[in-house]
Amino acid sequence: MSATTFGVIIGNRGFFPAVLARDGREEMLQVLKEAGYQTVCLTPEDTKHGSVETLQEARKCADLFRQHRDEIDGIIVSLPNFGDERGVANTLRMAGLEVPVLVQAFPDEPEKMLMGGRRDSFCGKISACNNLWQYGIHYTLTSQHTVSPKSDFFGDDVKAFAATCRILKGLKNARVGVLGARPAAFNTVRFSEKLLEQAGISVETLDLSEVFGRIGRLKDDDDKVQAKLSGIGGYVPTAGVPAPSLLKMAKFGVVVDDWMKDNELAGTSVQCWTAMEEFFGVVPCTLMSMMSNNLLPSACETDMVGMLGMYVLQLASGDPSAIVDWNNNFGEDPDKAVIFHCSNLPKHFFEEAKMDFQEIIAGSVGKANTFGTVVGTLKAGPLTFCRISTDDLHGRMRAYIGEGEITSDKLKSFGGYGVVRIPGLQQLLQYICNHGYEHHVAVNRSHFGRAVVDALANYKGWEVYHHQPAGC
């Protein structure tokens, strides 16, 4: 993951001690540097202590930000004292970068409340946010109203904010691909390309007949095919899988790789049931697992919007995502459930993984035609889940997001599977069913729910349900 770059605005107000702006700037930039972030900020040679107060200083800062518009992922507004509310808002308006904005205010100390030591940033932040609201500029707040840059709270705030920035940058002019037609039995994965286009996300399509045609032109000894075959063998154990099946998978992988590269696709959704098995003789799961593991998320059953959930979580965490079913209850624990797929989960999720056949449809199309799944038990650890959906009836994008954990509970199953614990799960399931959401959900081994909600609700303007049961 490349380093996130922040534009930094240091707010100042003339009748407060300027030393607060000077020291605050140095502290903020040092903290961000130590955390691994790049910064773009006025210097003391540009303005008084590198801060922004007047219209002329705001213009200088805006000019600097525009010079670095291709580098800056987000902007941090830091208020070591009250700050000039208009200077902050004018800078952002004139820069016109349209990136996320985090507003931070330094805390006062009870023993320094006389002039010369008091900051009044507590009050200044409210005024700055009021002006941003008037200007129509969206912004993110720190978890505490005032917070020291050196605190753990601010460290978490910046980590979440950086994830928000990555999500929005990744979704901007994103291109995704649907390979094959929606399986007839899966009305649940219908979606609106037009709503996605309005959201800045373009969809490319490719029919399975074209895929099979391109595969037919590939020779067994083609260099790309042999390289992909080697990659499959190095990715997951393939003992017991027939060599012809592995060769078919390799050719499928080559065609999809070329299609994605030619169309600059960030992710894919793939038809599976049951055309791939009946007319080609393998399942595409291993190739999809490999793509997802390499941060090119891929969802099955042409669930394009489910794949977007995978992509968003991946952008937030920098790690692979998976698409799973909300599949089973787990005993009588109301906060536990089994998540499952057949599976195309990336091996990043597994304790151990191997290639196998698809047990669900083997009975109808024959075991020999269903090799290619990646199966195993999920590793215990943190979990963020996200479901994005196109609400065609109301002409809007919507999503639900929450956090939980993958537990160490043991289970006997086939496919890729694990037990999750989500506080208030029954409340969540009621919400999913009452609002007509799909049975698929994207998951990631991380805790980035706050950042995803901020990106999709605050900045994208989507309708978002953040699952936070009472007391959590």
Q: Report pLDDT digits (tens) over 233-243.
A: 999 999 999 99
Average pLDDT over residues 102-113: 92
The position carrying tokens 């903020």 is: 28
Q: What average pLDDT does this structure show over 376-384?
A: 98
Cβ contact 158:37 at 8 Å: yes
**Predicted local distance difference test score (pLDDT) of residue 117:** 78
Residue 263 CA to residue 412 CA, distance in Å, equals 41
Distance between CA atoms of 115 and 22, rounded to whole angstroms?
16
Asked whether residue 472 carries a pLDDT value surpassing 70, the answer given is no
Between 452 and 361, the more confident residue is 452
**CA–CA distance, 339 with 466 (Å, rounded to integer):** 20
- pLDDT band of 272, cuts 50, 70, 90: confident
Q: Which of 68-82, 267-281, 399-413 has the lowest mean pLDDT?
A: 267-281
| Whether 77 contacts 101, CB under 8 Å | yes
DSSP code for 199: T
The whole-chain average pLDDT of the chain stands at 96
Six-digit token string for 440: 């698929």
Mean predicted confidence (pLDDT) in 125-152: 98
Answer whether residue 103 shows pLDDT above 70: yes
Residue 127: what pLDDT?
Answer: 97
Residue 62 and residue 9 in contact, taking contact as beta carbons nearer than 8 Å: no
Q: What domains appear along the chain, each with residue ranges and CATH number?
A: 5-171 (3.40.50.10940), 174-466 (3.20.14)
Distance of alpha carbon 141 from alpha carbon 125, whole angstroms? 10
Read off the pLDDT band of 471 (50, 70, 90): low
Dihedral over Cα of 149, 150, 156, 162: its sign: positive
Q: What is the pLDDT of residue 188?
A: 94
Cα angle 390, 315, 95; round to 5: 90
State the pLDDT at residue 156: 98
